[in-house]
Amino acid sequence: MPIHALSHLTFVVRDLVRTAQLLTDGLGAQEVYDSAAHQFSLSHEKFFLLGGVWLAFMQGEPTERSYRHVAFSVPEDELPEYERRLRAAGAEIKPPRPRVEGEGQSLYFYDFDNNLFELHTGTLAQRLARYQR
């Protein structure tokens, strides 16, 4: 019995309003829910849609930084505009990591609570083909 699809991703953040601004202004996410009126879960939360993916952000204490991250696919020619928007929204842009030609470009950034995100221009098929060379 196979898994059908990704349902949602949940992140813990200190300031939901600040995070909402980063997601909407920096990435163009659509806020679709705020539990401020009635809390159903463990803490105050907001839901967003980004690239057809349901993202949940809950109020709480974030974890330490790591390389654990979520990557979203973007066209390569749009990467500079995303970087501009994310910087304007206050995201911490990481220096690019060394890459091999053919695996796509990436923009890594931390939100305000140590959650790492990546905007990536390549595909799995491209990366596997490059690694097989």
Could you report the per-residue pLDDT of 64-107, keeping only the tens digit for each?
888 889 999 999 999 999 999 999 999 999 988 777 777 788 99
Taking the C-alpha atoms of residue 112 and residue 57, their distance in angstroms, rounded to an integer, is 12
Please give the DSSP secondary-structure letter assigned to residue 96: P
What distances in angstroms separate CA 28 from CA 50, 97, 102, one per listed residue? Answer: 7, 25, 27
Among all residues, which ones are annotated catalytic? 45
Contact partners, residue 68, CB within 8 Å, separation at least 6 = 116
Q: Which fold has domain 8-132?
A: 2,3-Dihydroxybiphenyl 1,2-Dioxygenase; domain 1 (3.10.180)
pLDDT tops 90 at residue 26: yes
Domain edges within the chain: 8-132
Rounded to two decimals, what is the model's pTM? 0.83
User: Over 80: is that where the pLDDT of 57 sits?
Assistant: yes
The arithmetic mean of pLDDT across residues 24-53, rounded, is 89
